[in-house]
Amino acid sequence: MKHPPPSRYESVIGLEVHAQMRTRSKIFCGCPNQFGAVANSQICPVCAAFPGVLPVLNREAVNMAIKTGLAIHGQLRLFSEFSRKNYFYPDLPAGYQISQYELPIVEQGHLMIDSPTDKTSKRIGITRIHMEVDAGKSLHEGILGASWVDLNRTGTPLMEIVSEPDLRSSAEAGEYLKKLRAIVRYLEVCDGNMEEGSFRCDANVSVRLRGTTTLGTRCELKNLNSIRNVMRAIDYEVERQIELVEHGEQVVQESRLWNADLNSSRSMRGKEDAHDYRYFPEPDLPPLRITPERIEAVAQTMPELPEAKSVRFQTQYQLSAYDAGVLTSSRELADYFEAVAQHTADLGHPNPKAAANWVTVELCGRLNRDNREIQHTPIPAHRLGQLLAMIQRGTLSGKMAKEIFEILFTDGGDPEQIVRQQGLQQVTDQDAIVQVIEQVLDAHPEDVGLYLAGKTKVFGFLVGQIMKASQGKANPALVNQLLQSQLLKRG
Amino acid sequence: MSIDTRTVQNVARLARLQLSPEELDPCAEQLSRILTLMETLNGLPTEGVEPMSHAVDIRLPEREDQVCNGDQREALLACAPDTEQYHFRVPKIIE
Amino acid sequence: MELSRLSLAHAADLLRKRSLSSVELTRFFLTRIEQKNPELNAYITVDEEGALAAAQAADARLARGDGTPLTGLPLAVKDLFCTHGLRTTCASKMLHTFCPPYESTVTRRLKEAGAVLLGKTNMDEFAMGSSNETSFFGPARNPWNPARTPGGSSGGSAVAVAAGLCLAAIGTDTGGSIRQPAAMTGITGLKPTYGRISRFGMIAFASSLDQAGPMTRSVADAALLLQSMAGHDPLDSTSIDAVVPSYAEALTAHVQGLRIGIPAEYFAEGLTDAVRDAVERAITTFRALGAQCIPLSLPSTPYAIPTYYVIAPAEASSNLARYDGVRFGYRCENPKDLQDMYARSRAEGFGAEVKRRIMLGTYVLSSGYYDAYYRKAQKVRRLIADDFQTALAQVDLLLTPTTPETAFLIGEKNNDPVRMYLSDIFTINVNLAGLPAISLPCGFDANSLPIGLQLIGRPLQESTLLTAGQAFQQATDWHLRSPV
């Protein structure tokens, strides 16, 4: 954190995440649920709220909410209800948003995070998860004297995941978001893309004197389109509120719009209506009843989640908790690692620790440099597996392998072939090595004499000379072994 | 219960209905009379009664997650008072 | 043969025998509409072209001998059923040019059953009213006396049926909007159980109360239309997924031993003597037919009107938020900004009663009043429904007057919304409880204005209503009286 708050204060943070669910169709109609289509090409009378139309709930959206609820150890309500949240806005065609209000489908869940602040594992409560519909989009920029409305996004199923105010720093907020995002991605219920808006976050922030338990007045931060921005906006807000309190001023409860370019937020007060959403139960949708059998059936379809996978990696592959944690931070990365480990094993050279190392250090490091995600790795898992097997087999030195790795990363290809083409293969042909050894020994008779006289220190020097003569291609283990016997022959 | 013209104005603003100043008083008067009628409900004890939101008690049906609507852009946009480049056009929204 | 008074079954028979063509019958009604509609104002839109095309297609089917129950029968529908490509106005300036690019389930099913749609009938704006006077297109007039209202909100449908401007019509009923105008125009009006007929494509007034139903000149006609419209619709989440029985069979059952409850609260003050007398005579008729008439009590009855006028406007205020001038419907001239567009489009596009109910509904849902009004009303609604349930556990049906008085004069209650609301005092309860009910003609007052009685049944027991109604109409001839 750039600006740690003076220790007298503690920040209290709760996050509201809106996750777009990855159903094929929209939540209440059969229009496609797809990002990036031509304006208004994915609308029908239902999602565009024409007169007389009615909503019909998408079963898969409910299943996704159940999955997420189970993953965060939440309590699933067998009886939940949809309500209408009434307000006027051009991209809200019905004039109300269908949302779960009094009786949400999931309550009282939690996530464990590794707090970067306390260096401990910390339980973050999740108050509720409810289903609702997304609104459309209004376009303003570059349009003369008007705004445009595109309703493609209208009716996209959303989960709103509301945390308890259990987070105490921006770093914890960042950890929580990463954890939550990994879970929804593992479950394949949301693609977790903050930039495209499929995973959106509002932050409720307040400060109080350390040691007190009452909550201060909170502000809601909006327009946070990356985890980095969530953290920056929280830091800014904490500092702003502390400054207000220090100067004896009051924090005003309000919504504040974050501006990432200016690295500051501004009040939305006055700009927004004094809201009175007039919630009431949606008369077009009877209450949602789910059965324990259905929950059980959905549970059967759940993939292994990050925590369980991490534990398994530690036992099955003997990985450190740290490595297992890194590898399971995303499902794709974990799958990639397992594929590499499997492939090296299939080639007869199992070494999961080396696989973990290569994936977390070499590959992730290289991807980071290019700002790429594991999904977009140019090296398929079986190629990296091949490369690792070649190291194990002794065909490649670690140094050579790194060179091949770079070639694989930039140009792709088959590591065996590259090695052959580049003539990088280690020389393991005993006769060839003996030949080089003989040449070197012939060129250094004094050193041979010293060695035979008991000055074994020169052995290292001779190895060096042999490696040099072989242009580094000789297998060092073989060189050691053969040099020994050749020297003895001269004794 | 009688409601004043300020309340009427506030409700009209929430409902997005323009009311002229001459309409305010009659509107307040009529709403007050209707609300008085409604207050007869207070004579009926309802502690512990479950509120009733639906006329019949049925299970919420769920549909399969299938795309079944074609592109109805042209037909729907044709109903709009103002469109531009396949968008619904509205007066500038001031953020 | 008087074509304007044909029953559906008789007309279908003539068409099947080819002694009359659907085109001839359709032309007959189109001509009659042309003559009488200027005075009665029953139709908002007459679809001459569409009707004749449908009639021709029907004749072709009939010639092939593969007609369906309604093939070639000219009907009218209330102008709040969305009809693909045919203007659907809800009798509002807000939608006066709106042509839906989709079809309501009700009209789709009628068309699939072969019906010819003559046009869209007049109504109170957005079905909000009890006299048809809130229509943007002017009031429909009662054919028994054009100075009087036909009732509402399905006034146009009632007039079209009573005056013989169609064979039968479809209305909707949120608080009595089928039964009250049926009573006031001397026809039969059936409001089925909530959820029996799909609401998809039916422009919503109050979603938890709205229900479509037939308006006909006989119980037998109502049974036939109900058969075509009833049944589960996957497009309406509140539509009931239950087997639809044969309603024709219900017509042949008898009422011997049927237990009919007579709730005391419906015969209290406010009821005119003429109505009381007519309904009491009807009770005598049912007794004579072998039914048992049992006095009982529905104590929560007086709370129905206030309960309804909290719940219905609350839902309406939300349902009507979509009329914002953005995607369809009326938009004001030269809006100076977005808020101006909303406020003026809605102020100019909606009539006074609609605005009044939006205001009322917005108020009762607003912060600080929700519990006092809306939640309270929802609880009382439960008590009202429980009352009916208790009563209908003892008896098969309830019998009441449909309205406390006969058709009133146009303009008579215009300036007094509360008085207007009270005209639905006997019908509103039924919607709150979601029950089926039918209004049957049962007499006339001194001014020769029709009087209606109401039968209320158990959920999904429309058959019992039809059985009792058919027995009554076979024993009486009130439903055969014609105003013209």
Which of C241, C338, C378 is the closest to B93 by Cβ?
C338
Query: Is A433 part of the contact surface with chain C (CB cutoff 8 Å)?
Result: no
- Alpha-carbon distance C236 to nearest alpha carbon in chain A (angstroms): 6
Contact B92 A30 (CB under 8 A): no
**Cα separation, C9 vs B84, whole angstroms:** 52
Judge whether C374 is closer than 8 Å to chain A, CB to CB: yes
Contacts of B88 in chain C (CB under 8 A): 326-327
C376 touches chain A (CB under 8 A): no
- The CATH number of residue C11's host domain is 3.90.1300.10
Interface touch A149/B54, C-beta < 8 Å: no
Of B11, B46, B56, the CB nearest to C362: B11
Name the catalytic one among C177, C300, C345, C423: C177
Residue A16 has pLDDT above 80, yes or no: yes
Beta carbons of A51 and C100 less than 8 Å apart: yes
So what's the pLDDT on residue A470?
79
Selected for mutation to probe chain C from B6, B9, B16, B68 (highest C CB count within 10 Å) is B16
The residues on B that touch A, with CB distances below 8 Å, are 14, 16, 53-54, 57-69, 71-73, 76-77, 79, 84-95
A77 CB neighbour count, 10 Å cutoff: 20
According to the model, what pLDDT value does residue A372 have?
87
* pLDDT(C258) > 90: yes
Whether residue A295 has pLDDT greater than 90: yes
Specify the range with the lowest mean pLDDT, choosing from A150-164, A340-354, C132-146: A340-354
Alpha-carbon distances, residue C345 vs A405, B19, B81, C324 (angstroms): 66, 12, 11, 7
User: pLDDT value at position A206?
Assistant: 94
pLDDT band at A1 (very low <50, low <70, confident <90, very high): very low
Q: Which residues of C touch B37 (CB under 8 A)?
A: 305-306, 309, 418, 421
Nearest to A283 among B16, B54, B79 (CB): B54
Distance from CA of B56 to the nearest CA of C (A): 6
Give residue-wise pLDDT tens across range A41-91: 999 999 999 999 999 999 999 999 999 999 999 999 999 999 999 999 999
Q: Residue C102: closest CA among chain A residues belongs to which residue?
A: A45
Mean pLDDT is lowest, of A250-254, B58-62, C88-92, C425-429, for: A250-254
Q: Which pLDDT belongs to residue A210?
A: 87
pLDDT attached to residue A387: 84
Instruction: Among C240, C341, C381, select the one facing B91 at the smallest CB separation.
Output: C341
- Neighbour subunits, C (≥3 Cβ pairs < 8 A): A, B
- Residue A405 predicted with pLDDT over 90: no
Please check whether residues C331 and C199 belong to one and the same domain: no
Q: Is C417 in the same domain as C371?
A: no
Provide the CB-side half-sphere exposure for B95 (13 A, CA): 10
* Whether C321 and A52 lie within 8 Å, measured CB to CB: no
Q: Do A146 and B84 touch (CB under 8 A)?
A: yes
Give the lowest-confidence range in A325-329, C79-83, C397-401.
A325-329
Six-digit token string for A455: 């000055």
Q: Encode pLDDT of A309-349 as tens digits.
A: 999 999 999 998 888 988 998 888 999 999 998 888 888 88
pLDDT tens, residue by residue, A445-484: 888 888 888 888 888 888 888 888 877 777 777 888 888 8
Q: Look at chain C and report how many structural domains it folds into.
A: 2
Q: What local confidence, expressed as pLDDT, does residue B95 receive?
A: 58
CA distance C380 to chain B (A): 7
Residue C76 shares a structural domain with residue C164: yes
| Residues above pLDDT 90, as percent of chain B | 75
Residues in A closer than 8 angstroms to C200, CB to CB, are 52-54
Residue A445, Cα to own-chain centre: how many angstroms? 61
3-class secondary structure, C44: strand
- Cα separation, A147 vs B84, whole angstroms: 10
Determine the residue of chain A that is closest to C240 in CA distance: A286
Measure CB to CB from residue C366 to each of A57, A84, A276 and give the nearest one. A276
Nearest by CB: C101 against B41, B79, B81 = B79
Mean pLDDT for chain C overall: 96
Q: Which residue of A has its CA nearest to B63?
A: A58
Q: Are strands A280-281 and A83-86 parallel, antiparallel or unpaired?
A: antiparallel
Q: Which chain A residues are within 8 Å of C81, Cβ to Cβ?
A: 52
Do A280 and C234 count as a contact with CB atoms less than 8 A apart? no
Least confident of A111-120, A223-232, A300-309, C175-184: A111-120
C 21-80 → A contacts, CB under 8 A: 80
| Contact between chains at B90 and C343 (C-beta distance less than 8 A) | no
Domain of residue C168: give its range: 3-259+400-480
Query: Percent of chain A scored above 90 by pLDDT?
Result: 52
Tell me the chain A residues in contact with residue C210 when contact means C-beta distances shorter than 8 Å: none
Residues of chain C contacting A49 with CB distance shorter than 8 Å: 322, 327
Domain A430-490 indexed as CATH 1.10.1280.10: no
- For residue A271, what pLDDT is reported? 44
Are A210 and A8 contacting, i.e. CB atoms less than 8 angstroms apart?
yes
Per-residue pLDDT, A4: 53
Q: With 0-12 CB in 10 A as exposed, 13-18 as middle and 19+ as buried, what is C77?
A: buried
Domain boundaries, chain A: 9-297, 304-422, 430-490
DSSP per-residue codes, A191-217: ---TTTTSEEEEEEEEEEETT--S---
Residue B18 scores a pLDDT above 70:
yes
User: What does pLDDT average to over chain A?
Assistant: 89
More confident residue, C222 or A420: C222
**Residues from chain A contacting residue B92 (CB–CB below 8 Å):** 140, 143, 145-147
Domain B5-43 indexed as CATH 1.10.260: no
Instruction: Report residue A52: phi and psi, to 5°.
Output: 85, -5
Neighbours of chain B (3+ CB pairs under 8 A): A, C
Marked catalytic residue, from C78, C93, C120, C413: C78
Tokens of A453: 């006289």
Q: Reply yes or no on whether C78 is catalytic.
A: yes
Residue-level pLDDT at A270: 54
User: C437 lies in a domain?
Assistant: yes
pLDDT in tens, A428-441: 677 778 888 888 88
Select the residue from C86, C95, C331, C376 to test the B interface by mutation, using most B Cβ atoms within 10 A: C376
Instruction: Judge: A56–C234 Cβ closer than 8 Å, yes or no.
Output: yes
Q: How far apart are CA C179 and CA C163, in angstroms?
A: 17
Mark whether C21 is an active-site residue: no
Q: Quick one: pLDDT band at residue C411, thresholds 50, 70, 90? A: very high
Nearest to A88 among C204, C324, C370 (CB): C324
Identity of the residue in A24, A139, A145 whose CB atom sits nearest the CB atom of B67 = A24
Among candidate residues C21, C104, C153, C157, the one labeled active-site is C153
Q: Indicate yes or no: CB of A51 within 8 angstroms of CB of C234.
A: no
Bridge-based pairing state of the strands C397-401 and C259-263 = parallel
Instruction: With cut-offs at 50, 70 and 90, classify the pLDDT of residue A275.
Output: confident
Mean pLDDT of chain B: 92
Contact B49 C338 (CB under 8 A): no
Interface membership of A278 toward C (CB under 8 Å): yes
Alpha-carbon distances, residue A122 vs A13, A111, A312 (angstroms): 14, 8, 21
Indicate if the pLDDT at residue C330 is higher than 80.
yes
Kindly report the nearest CA distance between residue C13 and chain B, in angstroms: 38
User: pLDDT digit string (tens) for C175-233?
Assistant: 999 999 999 999 999 999 999 999 999 999 999 999 999 999 999 999 999 999 999 99
What's the average model confidence in pLDDT over A374-397?
84
Is residue C102 within 8 Å of residue C94, measured between CB atoms? no
Q: Given a contact as 3+ CB pairs under 8 Å, which chains touch A?
A: B, C
Interchain proximity A53–C201, CB inside 8 Å: yes
Q: What is the pLDDT of residue A480?
A: 84
- Predicted confidence band of residue C17 (pLDDT cuts 50, 70, 90): very high
| CB-based contact C465:C397 (threshold 8 Å) | yes
Q: What is the DSSP string of C379-409?
A: HHHHHHHHHHHHHHHH-SEEEEESSSSSPPB
Closest CA to C284 of C276, C275, C293: C293
**Strand pairing category for A146-150 and A137-139:** antiparallel
Most confident listed range (A165-169, A361-365, B91-95): A165-169
C363 and C410, same domain (yes or no): no
Q: Which residues of A touch B66 (CB under 8 A)?
A: 24-25, 30
pLDDT exceeds cutoff 70 at A284: yes
- The predicted pLDDT at position C294 comes to 97
- Nearest-CB residue to B69 (from A29, A40, A145): A29
Report pLDDT for A397.
Answer: 74
